[in-house]
Amino acid sequence: MKYKYSKMKKVLKLLFTIFFLVLLPLPINAQERIESPNYRIQFPNLNSGAGIPTSTNYRLDSTIGQSVAGRFTSAGYIARAGFQYIHSIIPFSFSISDIQKNFGVLTPGTPSTSSSTIIVSAGGAGGYSVKAYENNPLKTSDGSDTIIDTLCDTTCSETTAAAWTLGTKYGFGFNMDGDDVPADFTDTTYFRQFSDASSLESPATIMTSANVGTARTATITYKINVSSVQPAGIYQNKITFIAVPSY
């Protein structure tokens, strides 16, 4: 009996020790950064890679090997996870020069042109695109007369450019030249129509790139040519540009 009691006492002591260890509150640590005199890593995730490593010559935002990436939403929060949501070192910007165009008095059979400069900077992982459309073809204020959208020398559309060099071909169109312009603008003699919102045409892409870039620059040239039978009047329309960054 003495042996059994001693053995039971040891078992009870062991159970008490285990029970005590389970209930004992332990400190919980969340590691915000790792640092030394030579480096600092914020929000480390060492089994893959994450954080903001820095040195004298560089600063790198990184996240590698994330298994769940994307944009997640619910009532009260939005979570953006993954490399595509790291802030860009190239903020998105878009500008266009000389946004009001006045072609003055037009001479039948003599084309009139005017140009603007478009500049885009984009640091998103998916690059950017710029689209454009007109509210309607050039019209007089009362809508009674219209300058048609050009068909170029043969035929062109809002998505396909063609040569427009003949003085006997009339209408309104545009050319693109410079960085990231569509390939159908073969040279500065190739023109398109603008997409016409009044005819439910979708905005057409006039600049696009899948790459990061700074100060991507293109020239848009507007061109009008009218015939001798075009009614006199003041013609106008509005061109809308839509610049879209991709992440």
Q: Are 39 and 77 found together in one domain?
A: yes
Same domain, 43 and 123: no
Q: Which of 85, 107, 126 is the last residue of a domain?
A: 85
Range of the domain at 46: 33-85
Among candidate residues 164, 214, 213, 215, the one with its CA nearest the CA of residue 185: 164
From CA 174, how far away is CA 241, in angstroms rounded?
A: 13
Lowest mean pLDDT among 54-63, 133-142, 185-194: 54-63
Per the structure, the count of domains in the chain is 2
pLDDT for position 72: 85
User: Do 236 and 137 reside in the same domain of the chain?
Assistant: yes
Statement to judge: residues 241 and 126 lie in one domain:
yes
Residues 193 and 241 placed together within one structural domain of the fold: yes
| 152 inside domain | yes
- Are the C-beta atoms of 68 and 81 separated by less than 8 Å? yes
Same domain, 194 and 223: yes
Whole-number Å distance between alpha carbons of 150 and 114: 16
Residue 63, pLDDT above cutoff 70: no
Q: Is the pTM of this model over 0.85?
A: no
Answer whether residue 16 is part of any domain.
no
Helix (H, G, I), strand (E, B) or coil at 26: coil
Backbone angles phi, psi at 85, to 5 degrees: -105, 5
Task: Give 186-208 pLDDT, tens digit per residue.
Answer: 999 999 999 999 999 999 999 99
Averaged pLDDT for residues 56-85: 73
Q: How confident is the model at residue 25 (pLDDT cuts 50, 70, 90)?
A: low
Same domain, 113 and 79: no
pLDDT of residue 215: 95
Contacts of 175 (CB under 8 A, 6+ apart): 161, 185, 188, 189, 190, 191, 192, 220, 221, 223
155 and 221 inside one domain: yes
